[in-house]
Amino acid sequence: MSETKLLPCPFCGGEAYQHGGGGHHCVRCSKCGITNESLKIGEHYYTAYFSSDEAATAWNTRAQPANEPLTLDELRKMDGEPVWAEYRAPVKVGEPWGVKRKWMLVGDECIYNQKSYISFEHIGIDAMAYRRKPEKE
């Protein structure tokens, strides 16, 4: 069996285990029974994983949630966690405004001398905040 530690079931959180052998490997949830065992094509079943490592890697692969801009309600619940912010700011004093992107804190009131801070009042107007850095840069 694979040395890879299995993540909990993505549907119910149950403990996962590997089973199979001889070129037919899969992972199954001990709680809800979901498995990544086989594909049915016509009347035949084909095992998708020929090694325990391949089965474990497939089980542990999770889709990333959409990285939509955070709402003010979501930001207020994050309690000081840093967010990826994109905001309009002067590139240099006396020059046109441009877009800046960096990890920042968002809150109700400005923290003295904190350059990596943006106020709630700017979100949705001249700034957007995200849980993680957007893939398209």
> In the predicted model, is pLDDT for residue 61 greater than 60?
yes
Q: In terms of C-beta density within 10 A (0-12 exposed, 13-18 middle, 19 or more buried), how is residue 104 classed?
A: buried
Mean of all residue pLDDT scores within the chain: 80
Q: What is the DSSP string of 99-111?
A: EEEEEEEEESSPP
87-101 mean pLDDT:
71
Domain segments of the chain: what residues?
16-60, 72-130
In angstroms, rounded to a whole number, what is the distance separating the alpha carbons of residues 43 and 21?
A: 22
- pLDDT tens figures, 3-43: 789 999 888 889 999 987 777 788 989 999 888 876 666 67
> In the predicted model, is pLDDT for residue 81 greater than 70?
yes
